[in-house]
């Protein structure tokens, strides 16, 4: 283990040139072939590698991008992160991952911290969008791409999906396959996604001309599978659905468990539809019909958008919407063939 890192100065001395020339020789400035050769040889001999920190300080870029996620336990965010990591590292950037809690304060802390300049940009998917968070987002000196819906009038780079419409797809599909009593198993409605799904459900039911009873829609305390089980239990004690639309694949898995434990068969007695189309949906038994919100795609787009923004800090904020898509699997097969 060599005791300490060689600096550019030492390389330069070793090669018999000035630091300036050494720098140019290594990073492709104007330098004679002879110098380049000598410097490269010296660098190799000493095992020199450029110091990222010093370089960053000088050039004003860190080559790092940050991804802030509420919960690394959620497969959706993991899928997104994977896609982002791919794009980002292909562009020569590193990815810093931070897990903010679900609380807006953590998010604000993170955005503030970002102004320390440890990253050149941020991708964030706020789960609760308070005015305070919005304010902080706009004030940031570092480019930010927001994944998820934004209040009207906020012009930040943004990639979103239409989960309201996604719920609509699910409800329509269930209605078409002959389900009469479609229930909603939602996550907390004080969150951005929770609100969107609720709206989607009500709109879709209205469009079908169906009334919605209070007991027909229930909210879990969280987007996790445990919370899903609890909420599904209360749903089933107050209502008798033949189909459940869930705000999330995790919730859907929880619901399927509860159904099974009550002796109800999926899809014969009750159809279940999840949302996000994570790996879980594919692996579940029976296979879980799920509304894909294109997590990987959103991640990919967000990353590209951010890189793009780094190239042009003055262009107008752009917004991309990824359309939801229903992925059919066994959990929502019709009770009997539809004529």
- Footprint on this chain of a second copy (rule: CB under 8 A): 1-2, 4-5, 49-54, 56-57, 62, 64, 72-73, 78, 81-82, 85-86, 89, 94-99, 112, 115-118, 138-139, 141, 225, 253, 260, 280, 283-285
Instruction: Confirm or reject binding of residue 14 to DNA (CB under 7 A).
Output: no
* DSSP string covering 113-174: HHTT-SSSEEEE--SS--HHHHHHHHH-SS-EEEES---TT--SEEEEE-HHHHHHHHHHHH
Instruction: Determine which residue in the list 51, 155, 268, 279 makes contact with DNA, applying CB under 7 A.
Output: 51
- Pick one of DNA, a second copy, none as the site partner of residue 89 (Cβ within 5 to 8 A by kind): a second copy
Q: Measured between alpha carbons, how far apart are the two ends of the chain, in Å?
A: 75
Instruction: Determine which residue in the list 26, 129, 252, 326 makes contact with DNA, applying CB under 7 A.
Output: 26
Which of the residues 91 through 110 are near DNA (CB under 7 A)?
none
The DSSP letter of residue 331 is G
Instruction: Determine which residue in the list 37, 44, 50, 135 makes contact with DNA, applying CB under 7 A.
Output: 50
Stretch that binds DNA, among 5-13, 193-201, 271-279, 281-289 (CB under 7 A): 5-13
Total interface residues for DNA by CB under 7 A: 30
Beta bridge pairs of residue 274? 290
- H/E element, 46: helix 33-46
Instruction: Determine which residue in the list 37, 41, 47, 57 makes contact with DNA, applying CB under 7 A.
Output: 57
* Residue placing its CB nearer to a second copy in the complex, 111 or 171: 111
- Pick one of a second copy, DNA, none as the site partner of residue 315 (Cβ within 5 to 8 A by kind): none
Stretch that binds DNA, among 47-55, 122-130, 213-221, 271-279 (CB under 7 A): 47-55
For residues 268 and 335, the answer to whether their CB atoms sit within 8 Å is: yes
Stretch that binds DNA, among 44-52, 122-130, 192-200, 275-283 (CB under 7 A): 44-52
Instruction: Confirm or reject binding of residue 7 to DNA (CB under 7 A).
Output: yes
Shortest distance, position 144 Cβ to DNA, whole Å = 20
CA 56/CA 117 separation, integer angstroms? 10
* Residue placing its CB nearer to DNA in the complex, 16 or 73: 16
For residues 147 and 304, the answer to whether their CB atoms sit within 8 Å is: no
The pair of three-digit structure tokens given for residue 10, joined into one six-digit string: 């030492």
Strands lying side by side in the sheet with 182-186: 217-219, 182-186, 243-246, 271-275, 289-292, 325-327
Beta bridge pairs of residue 322? 161
* DSSP string covering 240-299: --SEEEESSHHHHHHHHHHHHHTT--TTTT-EEEEES--HHHHHSSSPPEEEE--HHHHH
- Pick one of DNA, a second copy, none as the site partner of residue 19 (Cβ within 5 to 8 A by kind): DNA
The DSSP letter of residue 247 is S
CA 312/CA 254 separation, integer angstroms? 45
The pair of three-digit structure tokens given for residue 139, joined into one six-digit string: 């004030």
Instruction: Confirm or reject binding of residue 58 to DNA (CB under 7 A).
Output: yes
Instruction: Confirm or reject binding of residue 31 to DNA (CB under 7 A).
Output: yes
* Residue placing its CB nearer to a second copy in the complex, 29 or 101: 101
* Residue placing its CB nearer to DNA in the complex, 20 or 135: 20
The pair of three-digit structure tokens given for residue 228, joined into one six-digit string: 């899903």
Q: By C-alpha distance, which of 301, 279, 306 is closest to 290?
A: 279
- Pick one of DNA, a second copy, none as the site partner of residue 152 (Cβ within 5 to 8 A by kind): none
Give me the residues that bind DNA (CB under 7 A), please. 5, 7-9, 16-21, 23-27, 29-32, 34-35, 48, 50-51, 54-55, 57-60
């Amino acid at each position: 283990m060599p005791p300490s890192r060689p600096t550019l100065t030492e390389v330069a001395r070793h090669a018999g040139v000035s630091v300036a020339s050494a720098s140019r020789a290594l990073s492709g400035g104007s330098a004679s072939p002879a110098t380049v050769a000598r410097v490269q040889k010296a660098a190799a001999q000493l095992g020199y590698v450029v110091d990222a920190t010093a370089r960053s300080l000088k050039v004003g870029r860190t080559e790092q991008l940050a991804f802030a996620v509420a919960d690394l336990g959620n497969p959706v965010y993991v899928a997104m992160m994977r896609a982002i990591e791919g794009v980002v590292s292909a562009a020569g950037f590193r990815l810093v991952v931070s897990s903010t809690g679900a609380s807006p304060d953590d998010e604000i802390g993170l955005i503030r911290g970002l102004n320390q300049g440890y990253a050149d940009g941020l991708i964030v998917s706020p789960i609760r969008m308070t005015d305070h968070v919005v304010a902080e987002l706009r004030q940031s000196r570092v480019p930010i791409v927001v994944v998820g819906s934004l209040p009207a009038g906020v012009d930040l780079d943004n990639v979103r999906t239409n989960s309201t419409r996604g719920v609509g797809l699910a409800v329509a599909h269930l209605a078409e396959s002959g389900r009469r009593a479609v229930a909603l198993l939602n996550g907390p409605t004080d969150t951005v996604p929770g609100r969107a799904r609720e709206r989607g459900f009500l709109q879709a039911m209205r469009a079908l001309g169906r009334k919605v009873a209070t007991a027909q829609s229930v909210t879990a305390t969280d987007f996790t599978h445990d919370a899903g089980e609890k909420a599904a239990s209360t749903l089933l004690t107050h209502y008798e659905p033949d189909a459940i639309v869930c705000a999330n694949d995790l919730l859907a898995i929880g619901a399927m468990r509860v159904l099974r434990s009550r002796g109800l068969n999926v899809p014969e007695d009750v159809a279940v539809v999840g949302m996000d189309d994570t790996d879980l949906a594919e692996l579940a038994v029976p296979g879980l019909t799920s509304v894909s919100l294109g997590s990987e795609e959103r991640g990919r787009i967000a990353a590209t958008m951010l890189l793009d923004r780094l190239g042009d800090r003055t262009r107008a904020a752009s917004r991309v919407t990824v359309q939801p898509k229903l992925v059919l699997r066994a959990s929502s097969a019709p009770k009997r063939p539809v004529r």
